[in-house]
Amino acid sequence: MTDPVSWLMIEPGWKVYAADGGEIGAVDEVAGDDGHDIFDGLAIATSAISRPRYVPAEQVGRIEEGAVRLTITREQAEALGEYREPATSAEIEPDSKGGAGEAIASDVREVEAKAFAPIERHEHPMNVWRRIAFFFRRMVR
């Protein structure tokens, strides 16, 4: 058995194993905030055509170079919910009590925020083309 590594090392394509050691699939995407060292979980692809499943960080047991071992069985992994990419968000600065120039600048910031980083209230499903690309990349390795 190899030495454990940080969740920050996980890359798409790493193999994912169930608690009994059987291979479940491969890492499709890592969910977390590396700036604050917060690991949320993984999106795992169990086949080339199925949608990725979301594995919460609490169900990730051991992370090794090239492999992630879960604390759940294959059946439990297959029953996991579909992974959805997080919605984007924007932070709009509050209006200040300045003059007319400040009010115009505030309005411009608000319009820019809505145009360039809109707040979305829904989640996006994973792109099927990306999963197919990962599938073929695994076949070549």
Per-domain residue ranges of the chain: 7-86+123-140, 88-121
**Digit-coded pLDDT (tens) for 104-122:** 666 766 666 665 555 544 4
Rounded distance between C-alpha atoms, residue 48 and residue 52, angstroms? 9
The whole-model pTM stands at: 0.60
Task: Domain 7-86+123-140: state its class.
Answer: mainly beta
Count Cβ atoms below 10 Å from residue 101 Cβ, excluding itself.
Answer: 8
Pairing outcome for strands 60-64 and 38-45: unpaired
Count Cβ atoms below 10 Å from residue 137 Cβ, excluding itself.
Answer: 12
CB neighbour list of residue 23: distance below 8 Å, 6 or more residues apart: 15, 16, 17
Mean pLDDT score of the chain, rounded to an integer? 77
